[in-house]
Amino acid sequence: MKSIHRPATSSPRLKMAALGALMSMAVAAPALAADSAFDLDEYVRPGTLYTAGSIGLLNTGFDCKQRYGSYSDCTRPVVGGKVFGGYRMTPNLAVEVSFYYLGGSEVIKDGAAAPTTENYRRSSTRAQAIGFDWANELFQVLNQHIRFGVARVATRNHTGFGSGQVVTQSDVVIAPYVGLGLSYQFNDHVRFYSGFDLLHTKTQGNTQVFWMGLGVEN
């Protein structure tokens, strides 16, 4: 039986979940900020170093049927992650380096397993990015973030044939990336992050990453 084909469109449920998380932070932040005792000016001073890790949901342009025609099973990229760190040069501007895991996909094709027939294709995607983070205070300890820069996105493809041969190929794309997000500072050294990043990959098309995580800073 063939897998159900899902067109390569943005998922409203995924977007609503991400927007809901961001809105909940905005609603809760004023009350939480009232109890904060640390000096915000101490955090935004130039010279601040920070790092964070997160887990995210992926919404990609990967389309099983369009790319591979008939298939018996298809797994799309769903879960990914992001690790990033930065150096704050001014109260609003920081330079950031990010590492992404953008999930994997697997397509198993229909048809007889002839020696020259492509039976399956497995792919995994990772990215490294360097760019800037423009942060602006919303409510005392709640900041909004605008991220932009350049990303190197690499997809590793493994193609299996009926003869048992496996061919490995890497596709690399270097392209701009953008991101939006919010962050809430719990204390002098711990910050909660949430965000939305948009990257381009050769195999999966445009990839949207909705992520949340925790970070530390000096």
- Whether residue 64 has pLDDT greater than 80: no
Q: Side chain identity at 2, as an amino acid letter?
A: K
pLDDT tens digit string along 121-173? Answer: 888 899 999 999 999 888 778 899 999 999 999 999 888 887 788 888 888 99
Instruction: Give the mean pLDDT of the chain.
Output: 79
For residue 1, being part of any structural domain is answered with: no
- Give CA separation, 112 vs 27, 103, 106, 107, 115, in Å: 57, 29, 18, 15, 9
- pLDDT band of residue 36 (cuts 50, 70, 90) is very low
- Whether residue 17 has pLDDT greater than 60: no
For residue 7, being part of any structural domain is answered with: no
- Whether residue 69 has pLDDT greater than 80: no
Q: What is the 3-state secondary structure (H, E, C) of the chain?
A: CCCCCCCCCCCHHHHHHHHHHHHHHHHHHHHHHCCCCCCHHHHCCCCEEEEEEEEEEEEECCCHHHHHCCEEEEECCCEEEEEEEEEECCCCEEEEEEEEEEEEEEEEECCCCCCCCEEEEEEEEEEEEEEEEEEEEEECCEEEEEEEEEEEEEEEEEEEECCCCEEEEEEEEEEEEEEEEEEEECCCCEEEEEEEEEEEECCCEEEEEEEEEEEEEC
**What residues pair up with 48 in beta bridges, in sequence order?**
88
The reported pLDDT for the residue numbered 24 is 46
**pTM score:** 0.74
For residue 6, being part of any structural domain is answered with: no
For residue 85, being part of any structural domain is answered with: yes
Query: Domain containing 48 — which CATH number?
Result: 2.40.160.20
Range of the domain at 176: 12-217
pLDDT tens digit string along 166-198? Answer: 888 888 999 999 999 999 988 888 999 999 999
The reported pLDDT for the residue numbered 35 is 44
Which of 132, 10, 129, 3 has its CA nearest to residue 65?
A: 3
More confident residue, 27 or 205: 205
Number of domains in the chain: 1
For residue 21, being part of any structural domain is answered with: yes
The reported pLDDT for the residue numbered 42 is 54
- Whether residue 2 has pLDDT greater than 90: no
